[in-house]
Structure 1
């Protein structure tokens, strides 16, 4: 419960700081860079060396990878048909294709399914959402922000992306079954825990509630895809087609129903992909997701 309270408190504080004249106007840019260069690599170095993969975990891994592919194809086809700009297509692909599988997902899953459910949630998040954001997310942001698809441009963006470097280092530790000493792990854990408050403060600082904004129609489109279509896709695929059962499958589908990823929003905004819409996807999506999550929890426990 304390994690949920912190989510809303940081978002509200960030929104309120917009009206404090002595607070730097571009503070969100610095906060974004701190998350990208410090918090996310620390998170990877703490969690990934501890993850042990097996065949059963293909379900949670599929949530992030297949979910992002679904988003990429969906918004590419819809965007081209409706003649959307590249920046709009890229924005919705990133924000609706990446789920908040940790900062909202972890406390919700732990509350509903306990520690066993949390183990599955970590797999959805770290080798799933986190890696997709650091690879496919960066590729998408690069393509739609500048229209450049050269292999060198994309490769350099990924290889120089700090969270990806942290992920590679963490994977090497995992392969050789190594980990940092406990004191260093504690440092990484504390640095990684700064993602939620700092990222949400940044989102709040950029969140503008304009009733007449042209972004509302696209916001509704993006959130409908993320909160309804995506979990529906995985419910049909995992439950009805693959006949998956058990805790791992249920937790995976619940993670698919989470609000847009905070750091995915920061990635989108950092590349100039409709920053206002990106932040609205999180600012509106997080509170709204608690209603839709209750709906999907009911579906999973009834049918």
Structure 2
């Protein structure tokens, strides 16, 4: 509950700070810089070395790989059909393709399914969401930020992207069963813990409630995919097609139904992929998700 309250407090504070004239106009960019270059790498170095993988856990791990891949196909096809700009297409792929599986997902899953459910939620988040964001997410953000793609430039941006470097280092640490000293781990955890408050401040600073905004129709489409289609795809694939019925599948479905991911929206905005729409996806998506989550919770309970 504390995490959820903190999200709304920081979002509201960011909106209120828009009225402070002395505040630099690029404050949100500075906050984004801290989130991307310090918080995300710290989280990777803290969590990934501790993950124990098993083939039985592929269902929760695959949730984000599936949802992001389908998001890429879905919005790229719509973009070509309706002549959208590359930045608009990339924005929708990035913001609708990732769920907020940790900061929103963890407390909600823990409240609904206990410690056992939380362990499964971590699998959705770390080897799932975080890995996809550090690899395919960075690739898509780079690809769609340019009018024409240059393979060498895209590879360079991915390789030298701080969260990706941290991800690779963390994977090697996991492979060789190495972890940092507890004092370093404590520091990494503390740095990573400020990610969501800073990110929500950034979102609040950019959020505008303009009824005439041209982004509203794309906002509706993006949130429809994220909050309705994504969990529907996971339900159909896991429950109907693969005939899986367990608490692990329940947790996987609920994580798929979470609001848009804050980190992916921050990265998309930092690459110039319609920053205003990125903020709207978060600002409107989080409160709306509490309504849609009720439906998916009942759907998840019907699995067993």
Return the TM-score normalized by structure 2: 0.97
What are the equivalent positions in structure 2 for 1:246-261 lying under 5 Å apart? Answer: 246-261=246-261
What are the equivalent positions in structure 2 for 1:131-280 lying under 5 Å apart? Answer: 131-280=131-280
Q: Aligned pair count? A: 303
Deviation at 1:259, TM superposition (A): 0.8
Find the residue that maps to 2:135 and give its secondary structure. Answer: helix
Please list the CA deviations of residues 94-132 of structure 1 after superposition, one character each: whole Å capped at 9, or x if unmatched: 000011111111111111111111111111111211121
Structure 1 runs (4+) deviating above 6 angstroms are none
Find the residue that maps to 1:146 and give its secondary structure. Answer: coil
Deviation at 1:150, TM superposition (A): 2.8
Q: Does 1:101 align with 2:116?
A: no
Residue of structure 2 in register with 1:288 after alignment: 288
The CA RMSD over aligned residues, in Å, is 1.0
For 1:247 and 1:192, the matched residues in 2 are separated by 29
For 2:148 and 2:179, the matched residues in 1 are separated by 38
Runs of 5+ consecutive residues of structure 2 not aligned to the other structure: none
Runs of 5+ consecutive residues of structure 1 not aligned to the other structure: none
For 1:77 and 1:231, the matched residues in 2 are separated by 20
For 2:280 and 2:56, the matched residues in 1 are separated by 35
Residue of structure 1 in register with 2:298 after alignment: 298
Return the TM-score normalized by structure 1: 0.98
For 2:213 and 2:178, the matched residues in 1 are separated by 51
Residue of structure 2 in register with 1:90 after alignment: 90
For 1:23 and 1:115, the matched residues in 2 are separated by 42
Deviation at 1:51, TM superposition (A): 0.6
Q: Is the 8 A contact 1:142 1:148 kept in 2?
A: no
For 1:148 and 1:82, the matched residues in 2 are separated by 19
Deviation at 1:147, TM superposition (A): 3.0
